[in-house]
Structure 1
Amino acid sequence: MGLASVVVTPVFLYGPLADITVLQATLPGLVAAEARAEGVQICCDDAPLPLAGLRRGLGAVDGWLVSEPHTVELVTFIAEALGLGRSDVITVSQGGCPVAARVFPGRPGPMDWDGQDWSRRAAPILRYAVQEILSLRGRIAAQDLCAGLPMILSRASGRVAAQTPAPADVRSATEAATVQEIACEITHAGFFLGRAYTLRHPRFDGTPSDTLRREVFVATDAALVLPYDPVRDRVLLVEQFRMGPYGRGDPRPWMLEPVAGRIDGGENPEDAAHRECLEEAGLTLRALEKISQHYCTPGYSTEFFHLFLGICDLPDLEQGRGGLATEHEDIRTHVIDFAQAMALVQSGEANNGPLILCLLWLERERARLRASA
């Protein structure tokens, strides 16, 4: 007696998940058929990385129909990890014939979706995000990945930004493609991600290195801002508990810092800088001055900082509170004059690298900023 075959309902992919560059990069060997859904429209919100959704409306939406069981399983996992909602069954047209297909409603919003603009701006980010999601399949449930989606999208956005490297006028211009990557394994998958690489890289004398195993902490890009009032010649610092000093055994793990925060998926550093100043300190910036873009600890971390000075009006010298309760932030703000801030560098109380760099940069540029205020 033979086993009954399992009938798999095909899945209709539209919008972001129907982007051919995403599909080819994340699902190699994909077999899909062109299909169309009538009486619906693709819409989205105004998030930096809109994932789009379907709503009833005039017109039709073109997409792809996937039917192979393993592929259906994969795209279902991806859709659940992206938080695209519970699937529904609709009728789509394939080659002029009606077909019942599952569809994920996605994230509908008030704006019309521009497929060409989305593909240019966001498809590379989604491609890296889906690759990370699939690498964690079998290790982390889709709903848990969905809970950590902002970090996944932020890490993916950092990978895209990394494709535009800094100049190589003094350092070697040897490409990463010359590194022989033998293996890559995930050593930790939580709020943060850890990977271990087994590789060989070219040495400066042209010979290959020994086979090396190197672990890397996969973090996100971040925007950091030192708010400065050039008229009153004062800065704003934030203070909060930090795990780094605590984990090192520092008896005083509260640290003075610039305003700082993760750059969300699809967000540019400048927008992140303005957003973080509003969230952490209630400040609206008039302008930004770029200080630097740099890796923090390149020996073991992907973390990349965009440092700015934020021109703004600061209140009278005082302490305040800031941060988002939804992110469990407990932040105290300090408005102090420039001389007091530089005294913190001299005494060592300013023991945060980005803060020291921002203050030294301000010391150099302060006369110019005050003269133009």
Structure 2
Amino acid sequence: MGDIFLYGTMRHLALLELVLDRPRASIDLIDAELPNHAIYRGGELASPVLSEEAGQRARGLLLRNLSADDLARLRFYYSVYQHEPSTLAVETDSGQRVGADIFRAAPDNCQMDEPWSLDDWLRDWGDLTLRVAEEIMGQFGRLDAGEVAALVPPMRRRADSYLAAQYREFASDQAVARNVEVISESQPYTGFLAIQKKDLRFRRHDGTMSEVHTREALMTSRAVVVLPYDPVRDAVLLIQQFRAPLYINGDPAPWVWEPVAGQIDPGESPQTTAHREAMEEAGVTLRALEPAGQVYSSTGSSTEFVYLFIGLADLSVRPEGGGLDCEGEDILTRILSFEELIAGVDAQHFCDLPLVTTALWLARHRDRLRQIA
């Protein structure tokens, strides 16, 4: 494999630097075009799709003088996204015509819609793609590309959660940059969930810096919890499913009653997720959503940030159990009167924190919701 023509997201130099693990100044790049081709938006996250079109010219960069490690890293990254190499003739801006390898997705796997724009992609997906690429390349030399490909969806959800946290507005008079010092960091585990480990110091309330502490965080996605409530019948819908962490912890009752819940996909709003999950898990169409809080589920161990909702619905027809087979879900549904729900909370029969939280919010706002109905 010789020179490589970069026509899409890899034109983002920060991504190229990350994949090759070396700075831009050390990378040999020149401007080039691929004759009789155009680039369209298609696939997930507005990915670039190369299409043969007479008279069109696809702009890109010619990557030259690659080392064996460069080639291995590029092959690995492209293989995660199931891009295969082929050789085509490209033209440099100086008029030289050279053969170059091009990594591209199989046409059958992509649905094209409109011309692809690097600026638009950077605005909408650039930061998320960089965050995911960090995780992907962290597995270079540890896992094969096929194994990593299966982990890309949770990586994207984790990246989406991380980026959303940067813009979350909580009142604080403490500037992180000058009050937290990271000594070292690593990611010792990557899977459906990931664990990040940092050795760090933080400023204590007396103004001094702490000793170096080793801390781990369970890295996960943003999530939605929605408790379906019928204000006319004064009843709620709960679902029950097997929860492996409880079983792993030795709990003798790992089948848990809880509200509908699910992870937010990149580009999806919490409200859209709530409606989607209510239909997927419980077969319920929500008429409206009442925001009931935005919280971290466990600030001492997990990055999970949860959007809580009460979902107004007609529960006159009892839905069947739901869930997606592809996600291994096996869900039972149950309709309880509001009084039964609160009696269960008071008796401490429920162990799911989002259920208790949304039930207590509902108790506070129930009269208003019933009056509206």
For normalisation by structure 2, the TM-score amounts to 0.89
Conserved? CA contact 2:132–2:159, under 8 Å? yes
Paired residue for 1:100? 99
More moved, 263-272 vs 205-214: 263-272
Matches within 5 A, 1:146-185: 146-168=149-171, 171-176=172-177, 178-185=179-186
Distance (whole Å) between structure 2 residues aligned to residue 231 and residue 99 of structure 1: 72
Distance (whole Å) between structure 2 residues aligned to residue 11 and residue 177 of structure 1: 42
Q: In the TM superposition, what is the alpha-carbon distance from 1:85 to its structure 2 partner?
A: 2.4
Distance (whole Å) between structure 1 residues aligned to residue 293 and residue 281 of structure 2: 21
Q: In the TM superposition, what is the alpha-carbon distance from 1:194 to its structure 2 partner?
A: 1.4
2:54 corresponds to 1:63: no
Paired residue for 1:90? 88
Give a deviation string over 1:273-298, Cα, whole Å, max 9, x none.
22212211222322222222211111
More moved, 243-252 vs 204-213: 243-252
**Residue 337 to residue 184, structure 1, CA distance change in 2 (3 Å):** same
Paired residue for 1:4? none
Q: In the TM superposition, what is the alpha-carbon distance from 1:155 to its structure 2 partner?
A: 0.8
SS at structure 2 position matched to 1:105: strand
Paired residue for 1:80? 79
Matches within 5 A, 1:82-231: 83-95=81-93, 96-106=95-105, 108-115=110-117, 116-168=119-171, 171-176=172-177, 178-231=179-232
More moved, 108-117 vs 296-305: 108-117
Give a deviation string over 1:65-90, Cα, whole Å, max 9, x none.
22222434323221112x24222222
SS at structure 1 position matched to 2:188: strand
Q: In the TM superposition, what is the alpha-carbon distance from 1:25 to its structure 2 partner?
A: 5.8
Conserved? CA contact 2:240–2:331, under 8 Å? yes
Conserved? CA contact 2:42–2:113, under 8 Å? yes
Give a deviation string over 1:134-157, Cα, whole Å, max 9, x none.
122111211111011101111111
Give a deviation string over 1:255-311, Cα, whole Å, max 9, x none.
011111111233232222222122112223222222222111111221211112222
SS at structure 2 position matched to 1:321: coil
2:351 corresponds to 1:351: yes
Paired residue for 2:23? 29
SS at structure 2 position matched to 1:90: strand
**Residue 311 to residue 52, structure 1, CA distance change in 2 (3 Å):** farther
Distance (whole Å) between structure 2 residues aligned to residue 212 and residue 353 of structure 1: 29
Unmatched 5+ stretches in structure 1: 1-7
For normalisation by structure 1, the TM-score amounts to 0.89
- What fraction of aligned residue pairs are identical, expressed as a percent? 35
Amino acid at match of 2:73: L
Distance (whole Å) between structure 2 residues aligned to residue 77 and residue 206 of structure 1: 46
**Residue 176 to residue 330, structure 1, CA distance change in 2 (3 Å):** farther
Distance (whole Å) between structure 2 residues aligned to residue 117 and residue 287 of structure 1: 32
**Residue 370 to residue 90, structure 1, CA distance change in 2 (3 Å):** farther
Distance (whole Å) between structure 2 residues aligned to residue 257 and residue 165 of structure 1: 27
Match of 2:39 among 37, 42, 58: 42
Distance (whole Å) between structure 2 residues aligned to residue 286 and residue 219 of structure 1: 29
Paired residue for 1:260? 261
**Residue 234 to residue 90, structure 1, CA distance change in 2 (3 Å):** farther
Distance (whole Å) between structure 2 residues aligned to residue 246 and residue 275 of structure 1: 28
Distance (whole Å) between structure 2 residues aligned to residue 39 and residue 303 of structure 1: 47
SS at structure 2 position matched to 1:162: helix
Matches within 5 A, 1:263-274: 263-274=264-275
Unmatched 5+ stretches in structure 2: none
Structure 1 segments, 4+ long, off by >6 Å, are none
Amino acid at match of 2:49: G
The root-mean-square deviation of aligned C-alpha atoms, in Å, is: 2.1
Distance (whole Å) between structure 2 residues aligned to residue 213 and residue 262 of structure 1: 28
SS at structure 2 position matched to 1:38: strand
Q: In the TM superposition, what is the alpha-carbon distance from 1:21 to its structure 2 partner?
A: 4.7
Give a deviation string over 1:193-213, Cα, whole Å, max 9, x none.
112211111112221110111
Conserved? CA contact 1:319–1:332, under 8 Å? no
Distance (whole Å) between structure 2 residues aligned to residue 364 and residue 53 of structure 1: 52
Paired residue for 1:299? 300
Distance (whole Å) between structure 1 residues aligned to residue 300 and residue 344 of structure 2: 28
Paired residue for 2:361? 361
Distance (whole Å) between structure 2 residues aligned to residue 232 and residue 111 of structure 1: 46
SS at structure 2 position matched to 1:270: helix
Distance (whole Å) between structure 1 residues aligned to residue 116 and residue 288 of structure 2: 30
Conserved? CA contact 1:44–1:108, under 8 Å? no
**Residue 370 to residue 15, structure 1, CA distance change in 2 (3 Å):** farther
Paired residue for 2:291? 290
Amino acid at match of 1:97: Q
**Residue 38 to residue 372, structure 1, CA distance change in 2 (3 Å):** farther
Paired residue for 2:281? 280
Amino acid at match of 1:199: L
Q: How many residues align?
A: 361
